[in-house]
Amino acid sequence: MRLERLVFLVDGIYAIAMTLLAVELILPESSAELVGDALLHSLWDGRYRVLAYVTSFLFIANFWVGTLMIVRHIRRFDGRMLWIILLHMLLIAFIPYPTSVIGQHPNDQVAQVFYFATLSVTAVFLALFGGTRPDGAGWSTPTSHRRWSSSSIGTRSQRRPCSLSSPDCPL
């Protein structure tokens, strides 16, 4: 498998996960004939689903940017790296489900724990995939392992951080 095919797969899974979030944003059938204040009240009742959508969309977008920052350093990969990336995609594709649960049960503690645990596990996995831990120790990952990356990448201290707000970010 060529690297660009893997990147296309990653981008596609992120796009589908973001799109599936919007599927939950439907107006109940009982609201179809409402107008004016009654419609406004019905829209207000769906605010938790919208909040869950926006929150999850932003998290997935952040995970996507992080993944792009990691994948851009990969020059070649083997079966182990492929499965690491596929496991990460499994977690990303799962996010719409807990988003639906928290959107329908925003005040339920089980729904809250389920939602935030899913986001936390996904974030921790991305951090491990990216080669960093909260204590700054490195792992043998795509950005630090010669088997997968180019020696011209440089050390962590030589790389500049990159975000969506950086116009010179080479994503």
Lowest mean pLDDT among 12-26, 30-44, 89-103, 148-162: 148-162
Q: Residue 151: is it exposed, middle or buried by C-beta count within 10 angstroms (0-12/13-18/19+)?
A: exposed
Count CA within 13 A, CB hemisphere, residue 115: 23
Q: Which of 155, 132, 156, 142 is nearest to 10 (CA)?
A: 142
- Whose CA is closest to 94, among 63, 72, 67, 133? 63
Closest CA to 129 of 169, 171, 88: 88
Query: In a 3-state reduction of DSSP, which class is residue 15?
Result: helix
Nearest alpha-carbon partner for 119 in 6, 9, 17, 11: 17
pLDDT for the residue numbered 7: 86
- Token pair 């979030």: residue: 21
* Confidence (pLDDT) at 17: 96
Give me 124's structure tokens.
């921790």
Question: Sign (positive/negative) of CA torsion 35, 41, 44, 45?
Answer: negative
CB-CB neighbours of 60 under 10 Å: 23
Q: Are 48 and 103 in contact (CB under 8 A)?
A: yes
Mean pLDDT along residues 65-70: 88
Q: Give mean pLDDT, residues 146-167.
A: 45
Total Cβ atoms within 10 A of residue 168: 6
Domain locations in the chain as residue ranges: 3-26+33-158
Please compute the mean of the pLDDT values over residues 32-43 and round it to a whole number: 81
Could you tell me if 53 and 101 are in contact, meaning their C-beta atoms sit under 8 angstroms apart? no
pTM, to two decimals: 0.72
pLDDT surpassing 60 at residue 108: yes
